[in-house]
Amino acid sequence: MSQPAEVVSPGISQLFHYINGERVTGNSGRFGDIFNPSQGVKSAEVPLASKSEVEAAIAVAEQAFPGWAATSVLHRSRVMTKFVRLLYEHQHELAELVSREHGKVIEDALGSVLRGIEVAEFACGAPHQLKGEFSDNVARGMDTYSMRKPLGVIAGITPFNFPAMIPLWMTAMAIVSGNTVILKPSEKDPSCPLRMAELFVEAGGPAGVFNVVNGDKEAVDTLLHDERIKAVSFVGSTAIAQYVYATATANGKRCQAMGGAKNHMLILPDADLEDVANALMGAAYGSAGERCMAISVGVCIGDEVADRLIEILKPRVEALRIGPSLDTGLEMGPLVTKEHRQKVMGYIQMAEDEGSKLVVDGRDFVCEGHEDGYFLGGSLIDQVKSDMQSYQEEIFGPVLQIMRSASFDEGMALATDHPYGNGTSIFTKNGAAARTFADRVEVGMVGINVPIPVPLAFHSFGGWKSSAFGDHNLYGMEALRFYTKVKTVTSRWQEKGLDTEFSMPVLK
Ligand code: NAD
């Protein structure tokens, strides 16, 4: 059972770091505030680690590395299997931690926990996945084989919007490959990752393998500059992803850094618009739009499609069931913080000022009984043009922008030409159009009659353009490649002695 965090004043608990299998009190004297977004009140403080605290955690992870790397892959997989079992047993507790600090509704929080567990389940297959290659008899008496070796200490730096799923994407794959990890979760909702690290140790994971250090830029910079960190997995906004990628690689580390998004859905005239509306409601407004794979732009091919779709969507957006995140049966909770709510409201104003049409303005929404919560209603915006700043930038809130394109090619070009390239989808009954779209659009993840095409754990996740920096996607076999390096051995065992060879072999 988890110990409750220390209460420092009525209703406010103090969180900790989790290093070497223990809760560690922060000693930097700096704290970040955590809020309950449904109530708009501070609920906890999280210590923000100093450089020396991060360095001490890296030393622990470095010390744990040789032992864990030398453990048989079968044993690592068994620990992962027990971890998965505990994650399932505690899924509701984890979902509640997510929902309380992030604000997404409890059913959605539970789904996000499950999407994370699926990656940990995939990681249990490491004995098969980490098998190397073998070629026998590449020359007389000579064989060549390759193996995948872990890198050392890995840093995982994660965003606020998926505090269970994204930490699991990184840690499960890095750990099962034989690495040790320092996870630096978002300072806005760190309770779930802290609890998961405890569960890993409860599952038999050695102390020092899965560490959580809380912090802000100081902690991240320490991880990026310390030579004992061999690889960095980052997910967050594009500006920080670019900075993390540039700094980590300049310091000789492997880095995969996922950034922001603006995901387009192309709606062709032959699509069933009821299906499209059903798909769009969840994809645009689920999790209050705080998903990097949320659909934020609906591109209608032709005015008629746009007019009919807006007619269906408008009453549904106005009737979204919005309320405190732990209530059941709701469609949307609050946004994560007051500042983020303010930022989203600023984009809605910008869209109006730029000349697009507010069909539904979510800014006036008030959640009765929770007037201080960080709530916004859903917004639906029509007549959006490609040169508008509110279109070019990521809003990351419950806002759906509708664009009208004259043709399929023009609509596809919007997704291709946009600076972001995380996800996109097409709704149509025309197989050839769907195939052309999937083939040609310059975006990393594509859905065909699927609004949010997040690949399952045995594929991998990654965008293109300003949505991702680095060569490898997250999870799946891509992650095993990212978290390991290949060693190739050529051996000769033969009865006859060796001849002297000055030249490279030639054809005889
Ligand atoms: P963020 O960039 O503010 O923070 C991400 C991480 O970086 C956090 O751990 C934070 O502490 C750290 N950080 C913040 N400022 C920093 C700085 N100046 N220097 C060093 N580190 C810093 O992102 P967020 O607001 O937590 O998350 C939302 C963003 O994440 C959105 O842009 C969303 O699209 C993106 N996201 C992308 C994906 C993807 O896979 N492409 C997935 C989820 C979220």
Residue 160: CB within 6 Å of ligand 1? yes
- pLDDT tens per residue, range 9-24: 878 999 999 999 999 9
Spell out the residues 6+ positions from residue 431 whose beta carbon is closer than 8 angstroms to its own: none
Q: How far apart are CA 187 and CA 160, in angstroms?
A: 8
pTM value? 0.97
What pLDDT does residue 499 have? 84
Residue 187: CB within 6 Å of ligand 1? yes
Residue with token string 């699509």: 271
CB-neighbour burial class of residue 389 (10 A; exposed 0-12, middle 13-18, buried 19+): exposed
The Cα angle at residue 427 between residues 422 and 432, in degrees rounded to 5 = 100
Dist. CA 192 → ligand 1 center (Å): 17
Dist. CA 89 → ligand 1 center (Å): 29
Dist. CA 305 → ligand 1 center (Å): 35
Residue 474 near residue 498, CB atoms below 8 Å? no
| pLDDT for 1 beyond 60 | no
- Give the mean pLDDT of 266-287: 98
- Residue of the CA atom closest to atom 18 of ligand 1: 217
Q: How far apart are CA 287 and CA 294, in angstroms?
A: 9
Reference 283, options 418, 429, 447; nearest CA is 447
| pLDDT for 127 beyond 60 | yes
- Residue of the CA atom closest to atom 20 of ligand 1: 217
What pLDDT does residue 508 have? 77
Dist. CA 236 → ligand 1 center (Å): 2
Report phi then psi at 288, rounded to 5: 55, 30
pLDDT tier at 310, thresholds 50, 70, 90: very high
What pLDDT does residue 501 have? 85
* Residues involved in catalysis: 292
Residue 216: CB within 6 Å of ligand 1? yes
Residue 161: CB within 6 Å of ligand 1? yes
Dist. CA 186 → ligand 1 center (Å): 8
E strand intervals along 229-356: 229-235, 254-258, 263-267, 295-301
Residue 337 near residue 374, CB atoms below 8 Å? yes
Residue with token string 């059972």: 1
Residue 243 near residue 220, CB atoms below 8 Å? no
| pLDDT for 3 beyond 80 | no
Beta-carbon count within 10 A of 323 CB = 21
What pLDDT does residue 484 have? 98
Percent residues over pLDDT 70 in the chain: 100
Mutate to test the pocket of ligand 1, among 161, 343, 464 (most ligand atoms within 8 A of CB): 161
Residue 133 near residue 142, CB atoms below 8 Å? no
Task: Please give the number of the atom of ligand 1 that sits closest to the Cα of 467.
Answer: 41
Q: What is the DSSP string of 393-426?
A: S---SSEEEEEEESSHHHHHHHHHHSSEESEEEE
pLDDT tier at 479, thresholds 50, 70, 90: very high
Quote the mean pLDDT of the chain: 97
Residue 19: CB within 6 Å of ligand 1? no
Mutate to test the pocket of ligand 1, among 223, 235, 472 (most ligand atoms within 8 A of CB): 235
In Å, what is the CA distance from 416 to each residue of 293, 431, 464? 16, 20, 10
pLDDT tier at 431, thresholds 50, 70, 90: very high
HEC string of 452-497 equals: CCCCCCCCCECCEECCEECCCCECHHHHHHHCEEEEEEEEECCCCC
Structure tokens at 309: 């779709």
Residue with token string 């040169």: 387
- Residue of the CA atom closest to atom 26 of ligand 1: 159
Q: How far apart are CA 343 and CA 395, in angstroms?
A: 8
34 three-state secondary structure:
strand
Question: Sign of the CA dihedral 491, 497, 503, 507?
Answer: negative
| pLDDT for 331 beyond 80 | yes
Residue 184: CB within 6 Å of ligand 1? yes
- DSSP letter at 449 equals S
- pLDDT tens per residue, range 195-211: 999 999 999 999 999 99
- Give the mean pLDDT of 431-444: 98
Residue 478: CB within 6 Å of ligand 1? no
Angle between helices 91-102 and 191-202 (to 10 degrees): 160
In Å, what is the CA distance from 48 to each residue of 30, 93, 192, 398, 492? 5, 25, 17, 30, 54
Task: Please give the number of the atom of ligand 1 that sits closest to the Cα of 215.
Answer: 11
| pLDDT for 69 beyond 90 | yes
Mutate to test the pocket of ligand 1, among 30, 33, 216 (most ligand atoms within 8 A of CB): 216
Residue 452: CB within 6 Å of ligand 1? no
Residue type, 95: A
pLDDT tier at 296, thresholds 50, 70, 90: very high
Length of the chain: 508
- pLDDT tens per residue, range 334-384: 999 999 999 999 999 999 999 999 999 999 999 999 999 999 999 999 999
Structure tokens at 74: 């079968």
Residue 292: CB within 6 Å of ligand 1? yes
Residue type, 430: N
Domains along the sequence of the chain with CATH: 10-259+467-488 (3.40.605.10), 263-448 (3.40.309.10)
Dist. CA 98 → ligand 1 center (Å): 17
- Residue of the CA atom closest to atom 7 of ligand 1: 236
What pLDDT does residue 410 have? 98
What pLDDT does residue 506 have? 87
What pLDDT does residue 380 have? 98
Dist. CA 405 → ligand 1 center (Å): 32
The Cα angle at residue 191 between residues 185 and 195, in degrees rounded to 5 = 100
What pLDDT does residue 2 have? 67
